[in-house]
Amino acid sequence: METSLVGKYAIVGIGETEYSRASGRTTRAMGAMAIRRAMDDAGLDSTQVDGMLSYHSGDSTPSTSIMYDLGLRPNFYMDCSGGGSSSEALIGLAMGAIEAGMCDTVAIFRSMNGYSNFRIGGTGARAASGISGIDLMKRPYGLISAVQQFAFNFTKHMATYGVKSEDLAHIKVAHSNHASNNPKAMMKQRVSVQDVMDSRWIIRPVAHLLDCCLETDNATCVIVTSAERAKNMKQTPAHIIGVQGRGTKPGGDFHFQHGNMGRVAGHYVGPRIFDMAGVKHEDVDVTGCYDAFTYTVLLQLEDYGWCEKGEGKDYVKSGAINLGGKRPNNTSGGHLCEAYTHGMNMVIENVRQLRGTVDDYCPDAANGVHTYDYSEGGCRQVKDAEISMNMGWGTPAVGSALIMRK
């Protein structure tokens, strides 16, 4: 797939609020703060950001409110509905908007009180909203939370390839090790395989409590502009060399009727994005894989081609995804341990990895000086990180991806 956009755009600013379970603030206030922090990170003022994109699940604040709070006057904005595959997809749309001449610099934000107000599992504000839209296909049948909805795919996979719950626990262990070196992570304590196995069942046989992501109040932002403009900005840009937004399996919401249940959208998204970026798997130094649950990671690692189908259990147990391993994954702790952000924190983390300024416990981390000692309370910077990849997950049938280079 030939495209003239490879390396033409970059992420130049990143911002986030603290991650908590009791923000005490509106999504409007948090969204404005995250965007302001991203602007400050990039060295931009209110006259230099003229595009805004956001996504929500009926739980956020529109761009039109936040642009007023920040004194912005966009030439283009759009708020869309979506979840885990949106971060990478909107980065691609931002590139398209700039390429079309609609704007020059785009702030993409996600703001959510995902614990104290609108909880993804169907409790909180969502419980009183009634049943409509896509929920009509799920909630009347008891499929209220994502862990229930996605479990069918992995149950089939377990039966086919002999995956055990103990195998999945190695993913949680790796991400918890990474989070222990992240001052802002919500869950900093390292856990063992036995800790995961001893936590209560949520859905048998695919998920214990510690196999599930956190629920979090937060706002996050990334700023996209052209590589040419990025030269004059404050931070080292993370150049975008491949992006694929919301690729699907055949059948969409009815994908169970089409082919292998244990296959996810990464099977279709992966070849396109590697072809677009002009890199191979072995060129990638660090990954960010959507970890709503430990099993979503294993499925994506296989279907994006990091290992053969059915070999994911061996791949995660090999140490490859750990800091110091072949290709560390979710070095901030991801959704399992840092915070649940619908994918944004993994993009932010990989931007920091490429800059060489991961915010760990190294005394001079902000200036790119790291010890590469990955023991608890230490470093989480990947040494000489040049290329990163993010893999987003909306459902088993919907996925997005992003490849960046230094």
Active site (catalytic) residues: 290, 340
Q: How many residues are recorded in the chain?
A: 406
| Residue 193 CB contacts under 8 Å (≥ 6 apart), including other chains | 166, 169, 170, 173
Nearest to 178 by CA among 354, 367, 295, 345: 345
111 beta partners = 219
DSSP states of 167-213:
HHHHHHHHHHHHHTT-TT-S------HHHHHHSPEEETTTEEGGGB-
DSSP 14: E
289 beta partners = 391
Q: Contact 260/44 with Cβ under 8 angstroms?
A: no
Residue 254 burial by Cβ neighbours in a 10 Å radius (0-12, 13-18, 19+): exposed
DSSP states of 55-72:
EESS-S--HHHHHHHHT-
- The residue type found at 103 is C
The pair of structure tokens assigned to 177 is 């090790």
Q: Contact 405/241 with Cβ under 8 angstroms?
A: yes
Question: CA 339 to CA 237: how far, in whole Å?
Answer: 24
| Residue 253 CB contacts under 8 Å (≥ 6 apart), including other chains | 134, 137, 395, 397
| Residue 254 CB contacts under 8 Å (≥ 6 apart), including other chains | none
Extended strands (E) in 207-315: 207-208, 217-226, 238-248, 286-289
Q: Contact 261/360 with Cβ under 8 angstroms?
A: no
> What are the helix and strand counts (H, E) for the chain?
12, 11
DSSP 296: H
389 beta partners = 287, 403
- Count the neighbouring beta carbons within 10 Å of the beta carbon of residue 232: 9
